[in-house]
Structure formats: C-alpha cells, structure tokens
Amino acid sequence: MGLKAYSIYKSFPSKNQIAGRIVAVDGVSIDINEGSKTLIFGPTGSGKTTLISMLAGIMKPDSGEIAYNNLILSKSNRSRISSFIVENFGYIPQQVSLIDNLNILENIIIPHIFIQEKIGELKKRAIELLRILNLDNRIYSLPVQLSGGEQKKVAFIRAIVKKPKYIFADEPFSELDNSTTEKMIEILNEENRRSVAIVISSHRYIALSGKVDVYMMQNGKITEYRENIL
C-alpha cells in the first residue's frame, strides 16, 4: 500500500534551441510506502525538485505512471484527484511562497480551507507548532517581518498542520541553523511514528532516525538505492 512511480519522465523546453529539451527526470521508478521515510539525495540540478513535485501531485509527468493504491494520479484530471491531494499530501516547497499580506497564522491556515477539519482545531495545532519552533511571539507578524529561516519554519508548519498522510519536503532545512533543523527533524520523526510517510529531497545528507530509503539521484536518474538504518 502506498505511492508508486513507474518510469516517470519529465522534460522542459530549453531556451537554447540547439540544446533541445532539458530532461529533468529520466525513467525514474520509486516506491513510497505508507509510514516510510525516503530521502532523495543528489547534487543541484539532478532533478530532485521535479521528481518530488510530481510525487506530490503538483506536476504531471510527460510519461510513466504515478499511482496511490488504485488511483492513477498521473492520468487523472485535476478535479478528480484534488480532494485526495488536499486531504492527504503536505508539501514544503523549496521557494517558500508565503502570502505577503496575510499574517503568519493566516498563511498557515488558509491553504487548508477546503479540508474537513475546523479552523479552530487547525489554529490550535498551528500555535502549538509555532511555539515548538520559537515563533509563538510572531503569530501576527507579516512574512516581510521574518527572516528567510523563519519563513521556512512557517512553510514547514503550513505543510504539516493538517496532519497529512504524506509529507513532501524539498530542501526543507536550507537556511536553517542546526538547532532548528534538529527540532524539525524531531517533529518529522514524531509524525512518522504516527505512520506518516516522509519524503525529503536534499543536496546534503539528512540524518533521519530509524529505517530510511535513500535514493541517490544524478542527471535525472536514480543511480543508487540504499536502505539506511540509524
């Protein structure tokens, strides 16, 4: 049971006509079981962001298939899979993208307006997570009043506050100090203990505890798979 990608391929047009298309993901197959931890590790430009965007349902592959149990995500139209993604996936983008004229709490809550849960419950959980990450005194601040690292923390909370089944994180710990990184890893480990699947892409190795599936990526392909246990 879980999310499976079979031979997915994605390319983009190159601005340089001679170069043709840029292949970002080239025939990648990956299994993400429920409750697992997955690290997609590779240098800048290896295709990690494109891969994780497709797994999170943000981008469709040009070919190949992404399926969650019997639901073929890659071939379904957006309306059909929308409610599934809204309820089950949480995404932390590399570019934070907070909404400038909303305060921190509103930035965390508003993307989840379509889920079943009540706003009051989301607010409570958001405030608790903000407290853990030392942002409880900035609840009503605007994004422009926060540092890059603080905005990253808010994007992190925004993704996990609705208790998704899958958390996709694209370079979640860049611009963060070691102590904040450790707190966020601990929060992710805690989510994982509740059977939430964690998928992280990073250009540096992340020390997640327990069993972690590590996929090394280079030039759009998976070059190595390892099972690490810490």
Binding-site ranges for another protein (CB under 8 A): 10-13, 21, 53, 56-63, 78-79, 81-82, 84-86, 89-91, 93, 97, 99-102, 106, 110-114, 119
Helices (H), the chain: 48-55, 78-88, 104-109, 119-132, 148-160, 178-193
Reading the block at residue 146, the tokens are 């926060």
Q: Is 140 strand, coil or helix?
A: coil
Q: How far is the CB of 1 from another protein (least distance, A)?
A: 20
Phi and psi for 227 in degrees, rounded to 5? -110, 115
Closer residue to another protein (CB): 40 or 98:
98
Closer residue to another protein (CB): 140 or 205:
140
Q: How far is the CB of 214 from another protein (least distance, A)?
A: 25
Closer residue to another protein (CB): 13 or 148:
13
Q: How far is the CB of 19 from another protein (least distance, A)?
A: 15
Closer residue to another protein (CB): 29 or 209:
29
What is the rounded CA–CA span in Å between residue 114 and residue 54? 22
Distances (CA, A) of 109 to 127, 169, 189: 11, 18, 23
- 8-state DSSP, 123: H
Q: How far is the CB of 227 from another protein (least distance, A)?
A: 30
Q: How far is the CB of 180 from another protein (least distance, A)?
A: 22
Closer residue to another protein (CB): 156 or 212:
156
Token match 């611009």: residue?
Answer: 175
What is the rounded CA–CA span in Å between residue 57 and residue 31? 15
Q: How far is the CB of 92 from another protein (least distance, A)?
A: 10
Question: Residue type at 190?
Answer: E
Closer residue to another protein (CB): 21 or 124:
21
What is the rounded CA–CA span in Å between residue 83 and residue 86? 5
Residues comprising the chain, all counted: 230
Reading the block at residue 203, the tokens are 């250009």
